[in-house]
Amino acid sequence: MTAMDESAYAEYRRRRVRRLKKIILIVLALAIIIPLVCSIVFLSLFIHTRRELSDLQNRYDELLSSMEQLRDDIAYIDAPRDVYSVSDVTDSQRDASETDLTPDMPEEAAEDEEEHVREVYLTFDDGPSIYTDEILDILAEHEVKATFFVIGKTEDVAVDAYKRIVADGHTLGMHSYSHRYSQVYASKDAFVDDLNKLQEYLYEVTGVWSRYYRFPGGSSNTASTVDMSELIEYLTEQDITYFDWNIVSGDAAGHPISADTIVSNCVSRVANFNEAVILMHDAADKHSTVEALPRIIESIQDMEDTEILPISDDTFPIQHRE
Ligand SMILES: [Zn+2]
């Protein structure tokens, strides 16, 4: 081997070593980068999937709870009684007592009495629903305030709905967290737990400490295994006023009813009362209520000396039990 051959060989080896080094470096770099990129991709996929899963879980829970509620409602409606009819106590006590008092009143007071403005309270149970916004839009268009007896829902749209109810100046009332008769009325403790859960949740979401309650099925329901007077007593202790109703829109019927029927159910009886509390529902299967609402409001606004108001501390509580 000549000196020339040797130096050429050495050069060849150096180059080979350099190339090998480069290859090793590239392989090393790839060995780090590829798994890193893969982990990032998998991680984001994992997070995304988990989010979707939890969304699905929420929807599943929601469906399950609606199903249970429906089952409760069916069991409840099947029972031989008519919860949503107007009980015998409907003519509010105040109406009766005022009539009694009138003859003894000085003339001026009696005149005041004649000028008494009829108060109508639109109340919506069971919301928020997919229609809450539509209902709120209609109320806003007509510059009317109403009362929403809501249940506990945690999806973003429901949270927004609670907030909008309050922001729009309506009264936020409670209608139990679960709305499952079998749970709410299982025992006094169960009732108290459910009530606290809803009251605290609404406070957290809206900053409003609600003090108005509507019993699921009304105070005259017979689904409760607890004596209703015990629950009423508890509400009184908590400074919570419960409201029933004296006019039914009829939208709680098992079968869908037309907007026309709802309008006439609501409007035809308003004149019978000094305080009319109309029971309606804010629920996914009750769009005819939404369709009926503008006409209900307009008809009532057309009545003389009649005002639509949200429930407040000044509202005489219409209650089915004495
Ligand atoms: Zn209800």
- Check pLDDT > 50 for residue 44: yes
115 and 65, same domain (yes or no) = no
Query: Does residue 151 share a domain with residue 62?
Result: no
> Both 174 and 101 in a single domain?
yes
| Structural domains of the chain, count | 2
Higher pLDDT, 83 or 245: 245
Q: Are residues 58 and 152 in the same domain?
A: no
Whole-angstrom distance, CA of residue 89 vs CA of residue 107: 30
Whether residues 152 and 287 share a domain: the answer is yes
Residue from 175, 179, 281, 320 carrying the catalytic annotation? 281
Q: Where are the alpha helices (DSSP H) in 102-247?
A: 107-114, 132-141, 156-167, 181-184, 188-206, 228-237
Model confidence pLDDT, tens digit, residues 267-312: 999 999 999 999 999 999 899 999 999 999 999 999 999 999 999 9
Say yes or no: 59 and 5 in one domain.
yes
* pLDDT at 69 exceeding the cut of 90: no
Residue 287: which CATH number? 3.20.20.370
Q: What is the pLDDT of residues 115-135, one digit of tens each?
A: 689 999 999 999 999 999 999
Query: What is the distance between the alpha carbons of residues 288 and 267, in angstroms, rounded to a whole number?
Result: 15
CA distance 29 to 33: 6
* 72 annotated active-site: no
In the reported structure, the alpha carbon of residue 151 is separated from the centroid of ligand 1 by a whole-number distance in angstroms of 8
Residue 40 has pLDDT above 60, yes or no: yes
145 Cα–ligand 1 center, Å: 20
pLDDT of residue 54 exceeding 70, the answer is: yes
How far is it, in rounded angstroms, from Cα 217 to Cα 296?
23
Shared-domain flag, residues 70 and 120: no
Annotation says 125 is catalytic: yes
End-to-end CA distance of the chain: 121
* 83 within some domain: no
In-domain check, residue 317: no
Question: Phi and psi dihedrals of 206, rounded to 5?
Answer: -115, -15
- The answer on 46 and 123 residing in a single domain is no
How far are the Cα atoms of 4, 136, 145, 148, 165 from residue 168, in angstroms, in the given order? 95, 8, 8, 12, 5
**For range 1-13, the mean pLDDT:** 81
Residue 129 sits in the same domain as residue 222: yes
> Average pLDDT, whole number, for the chain?
86
In-domain check, residue 87? no
Q: Which of 38, 55, 78 is the last residue of a domain?
A: 78
Expressed as residue numbers, the domain containing 31 is 1-78
Q: Are residues 166 and 45 in the same domain?
A: no
Q: How many residues does the chain have?
A: 322
Q: What are 274-285's pLDDT values in tens digits?
A: 999 999 999 998
| Distance (Å) of CA 313 to CA 64, 211, 240, 255 | 36, 9, 10, 35
117 alpha carbon to ligand 1 midpoint, in Å?
29
Residues 112 and 52 grouped into a single domain = no
**What separation in Å is there between the alpha carbon of 296 and the centre of ligand 1?**
21
Of 27, 47, 78, the one marking the end of a domain is 78
pLDDT of 71 over the 70 cut: no
pLDDT tens-digit series, residues 137-187: 999 999 999 999 999 999 999 999 999 999 999 999 999 999 999 999 999
pLDDT band for position 237 (cuts 50, 70, 90): very high
Q: What is the mean pLDDT of residues 214-233?
A: 95
**Angle 158-163-167 (CA atoms, 0-180°, nearest 5)?**
145
